[in-house]
Structure 1
Amino acid sequence: MTIKQRTFTPQQYGKVAVLFGGSSAEREVSLNSGNAVLQALTAAGVDTIAFDPAEKPHTGLLDLKVERAIIMLHGRGGEDGTVQGALEWLGIPYTGTGVLGSSLAMDKIRSKQVWQALGLSTAAYHIAEKSRFDARSCGVIIQNLGNIVMVKPAREGSSIGMAKVTSAKQLEAAVTDAFNYDNHVLIEQFIEGPEYTVAILHGQALPSIRMSTPHVFYDYSAKYQDNTTEYFCPSGLNAEQEAQIGKLASDAFAALDGSGWGRVDVMQGNDGRFYLLEANTVPGMTEKSLVPKAAKQAGLSFTDLCLEILATSETGRAERVFGEEVRP
């Protein structure tokens, strides 16, 4: 696989702020990602500084004479378009997806609605709104969705607030808990089959990864705490399936106005069909994270990957059209 080459040397980026930490529920993961990236870029010769928006205002970037920002903030305030908008207002180039795409991808419900409108395969679902949720409807909802569902806060990451349920009583409890994280909750048909993820870099799909865990599902603990999760890259798909899942992920990312780098999560049903779960515009970059594993399979070291991510700040926001990327 050939990855687009950087046009800047590490020194030409000027002073680069690595934004990490923040105040979202994913702060701990963000700290781990940011520290790993900070160390790699510094070792590569980039003039880097650490910047935690939870500790100082964004305008502090101007006081520090920052010339670029690499965003390693996960969750709300960093992955939802908020910090992207702040950086655009400050006139500081930044990595990855812009305001619109970040906001869309952060919202699992809006993402599915966009994919559905474009004919991209995704599981059946129901939307629960806190202001008018009727617990008496749980029986009908779960029956209509095949009797096994995933409950997900619409705008949280790292599987926070998620649950797999198999009864109306469990569904009521799971939705009530998810409302602690978001006023809108996605109730999604459970797809029985293997789970995959596809990293996107410079508009290209990297080799897919298959995850296997003894947990009920690929939850926060399976992602970041346990050593029981297995990762397979190559994933075991044949060449035709690999091309299929890569195109689906690339199209899904582009449909949400994704840019630069990211990750798309996919399930394969027992029918062999791939179903989109969600897109991540600032995926994890910890030692257990998936994008570095895919990049390694594509021939990129962790440091090279960090430099490629930094390179997504070179040309500013890309103009997106479905299925392709057009850069000025």
Structure 2
Amino acid sequence: MGDSAGGASVSGLAKLHVAVLMGGWSSERPVSLMSGEGVADALEDCGHRVTRIDMDRDVPARLAAAAPDVVFNALHGVPGEDGTVQGLLDLMGLPYTHSGLATSVIAIDKQLTKQALIPHGVPMPGGRVVRSEDIHTADPLPRPYVLKPVNEGSSVGVAIVTDASDYGNPIRREATGPWQEFAELLAEPYIKGRELTVAVLAQAGGPRALGVTELRPKSGFYDFDAKYTDGLTEHVCPAEIPPHIAALCMEHALTAHRALGCHGATRTDLRWDEELGESGLYVLEINTQPGMTPLSLVPEQARSCGISYAELVELIVADALTRFGKVSDGDG
């Protein structure tokens, strides 16, 4: 598919033509663009031919014209993370990175994720889906509790409701929060304690948990700004937690990755109340399209394991080729 030039592949992957799908129109568009540019630059540095595609309604025609060997899905949120793009790529017969249609449909929906993972022994907070209209009449759970959109990532639209919060009691309609943007919300008990995350990377010998990172926001909680603004959150990698808790975090992340049938890289977010020991550890969600920005956690954990950013990108591409039964013998 054309000529290839540039540097050498860091993992022995043959030269390929890779379409990097990024951007889109979700609330996470800016993050996706950063992820996509980082991935595209790394692939070019490794000698691969790259076509950058900013997701729009014409994406099927643009992908057909590009005719890549494989698509690197660097989209975050809807429609790139919920199964929509995965179904499109399946119909087009194009291999792509990260998880497939069915896995994506489940993992983007926090309530479906609970239903899928709890039977596998993954501890997750209780709670229920509520109509936003109803929270203005009465609290859906005893305070403190968390309200979040059912199918958004990057902590978009998360509100922690406490007795001291200025939302009112009951929550006022005019108070700024996710109830103004979403008709339904997931209400969960607030888990106090420490914010932990585990990256899992699919490899030839099976998925590997890369480690545990603790996230320490300088103020407030680990929201969208804290995730993507340099200096607002301290990343402690590896997390300074007891070894048995770290091992349990990685075990839960691996169980979630396997149970949902994930591919490529995933990131599992957890919360740990250290006063309760092992019983205070809960999985909050699993992200099937984790960020690949300079501040993202998966590349950071990969580096701690001696895997460079370029190697990480190529390992994700190699997993996609293996999953779709393709041999990495493209000529770029």
Normalised by the length of structure 1, the TM-score is 0.87
Task: Kindly indicate whether residue 226 of structure 2 is the aligned counterpart of residue 214 of structure 1.
Answer: no
Contact (CA 8 Å) 1:98, 1:317: kept in 2 or not? no
Contact (CA 8 Å) 1:153, 1:186: kept in 2 or not? yes
* 3-state SS of paired residue (2:284): strand
**Range 102-111 or range 171-180, more displaced:** 171-180
Residue 242 of structure 1 and its aligned partner are, at CA, apart by 2.0
CA distance in 1, matches of 2:54, 2:101: 20
Q: 2:155 aligns with which of 153, 156, 159?
A: 159
Tell me which residue corresponds to 1:16: 18
Tell me which residue corresponds to 1:121: 123
Tell me which residue corresponds to 2:193: 193
Contact (CA 8 Å) 2:79, 2:85: kept in 1 or not? yes
Matched pairs, number: 305
CA distance in 2, matches of 1:257, 1:86: 19
Query: Relative to structure 1, is the Cα distance of residues 10 and 317 closer, same or farther in structure 2, using a 3 angstrom cutoff?
Result: closer
Residue 181 of structure 1 and its aligned partner are, at CA, apart by 4.2
Residue type of the partner of 2:159?
A: A
Q: Cα deviations across residues 162-193 of structure 1 (Å, max 9, x unaligned)?
A: 11111483663589842444433111111111
Residue 55 of structure 1 and its aligned partner are, at CA, apart by 6.4
Tell me which residue corresponds to 1:306: 313
CA distance in 2, matches of 1:127, 1:152: 10
**Counterparts of residues 25-36 of structure 1 (less than 5 Å):** 25-36=27-38
Tell me which residue corresponds to 1:59: 61
Contact (CA 8 Å) 1:22, 1:54: kept in 2 or not? yes
Contact (CA 8 Å) 1:81, 1:99: kept in 2 or not? yes
Query: Relative to structure 1, is the Cα distance of residues 173 and 216 closer, same or farther in structure 2, using a 3 angstrom cutoff?
Result: farther
Residue 116 of structure 1 and its aligned partner are, at CA, apart by 2.5
Tell me which residue corresponds to 1:271: 276
Contact (CA 8 Å) 2:11, 2:311: kept in 1 or not? no
Q: Cα deviations across residues 294-320 of structure 1 (Å, max 9, x unaligned)?
A: 0011110111111111112112369xx
CA distance in 1, matches of 2:135, 2:171: 9
Query: Relative to structure 1, is the Cα distance of residues 173 and 78 closer, same or farther in structure 2, using a 3 angstrom cutoff?
Result: farther
Residue 288 of structure 1 and its aligned partner are, at CA, apart by 0.6
Query: Relative to structure 1, is the Cα distance of residues 171 and 15 closer, same or farther in structure 2, using a 3 angstrom cutoff?
Result: farther
Residue 256 of structure 1 and its aligned partner are, at CA, apart by 2.3
Query: Relative to structure 1, is the Cα distance of residues 225 and 15 closer, same or farther in structure 2, using a 3 angstrom cutoff?
Result: same
Residue type of the partner of 1:225?
A: T
Contact (CA 8 Å) 1:261, 1:312: kept in 2 or not? no
Query: Relative to structure 1, is the Cα distance of residues 266 and 303 closer, same or farther in structure 2, using a 3 angstrom cutoff?
Result: same
* 3-state SS of paired residue (1:285): coil
**Range 283-292 or range 121-130, more displaced:** 121-130
Residue type of the partner of 1:242?
A: A
Task: Kindly indicate whether residue 132 of structure 2 is the aligned counterpart of residue 136 of structure 1.
Answer: no
Contact (CA 8 Å) 1:164, 1:217: kept in 2 or not? no
CA distance in 2, matches of 1:173, 1:255: 40
Tell me which residue corresponds to 1:224: 228
Tell me which residue corresponds to 1:39: 41
Residue 47 of structure 1 and its aligned partner are, at CA, apart by 1.3
Task: Kindly indicate whether residue 80 of structure 2 is the aligned counterpart of residue 75 of structure 1.
Answer: no
Q: Cα deviations across residues 80-132 of structure 1 (Å, max 9, x unaligned)?
A: 111111000000000110001111111111112222333321112121135x7
Query: Relative to structure 1, is the Cα distance of residues 173 and 69 closer, same or farther in structure 2, using a 3 angstrom cutoff?
Result: farther
Residue 134 of structure 1 and its aligned partner are, at CA, apart by 5.5
CA distance in 2, matches of 1:120, 1:218: 22
C-alpha RMSD of the superposition = 2.2
Contact (CA 8 Å) 1:97, 1:317: kept in 2 or not? no
CA distance in 2, matches of 1:152, 1:254: 25
Residue 159 of structure 1 and its aligned partner are, at CA, apart by 1.1
Query: Relative to structure 1, is the Cα distance of residues 187 and 170 closer, same or farther in structure 2, using a 3 angstrom cutoff?
Result: farther
Q: What are structure 1's unaligned runs of at least 5 residues? A: 1-5, 319-328
CA distance in 1, matches of 2:169, 2:95: 46
Contact (CA 8 Å) 1:148, 1:165: kept in 2 or not? yes
Q: Cα deviations across residues 57-100 of structure 1 (Å, max 9, x unaligned)?
A: 22321111212100000000111111111000000000110001
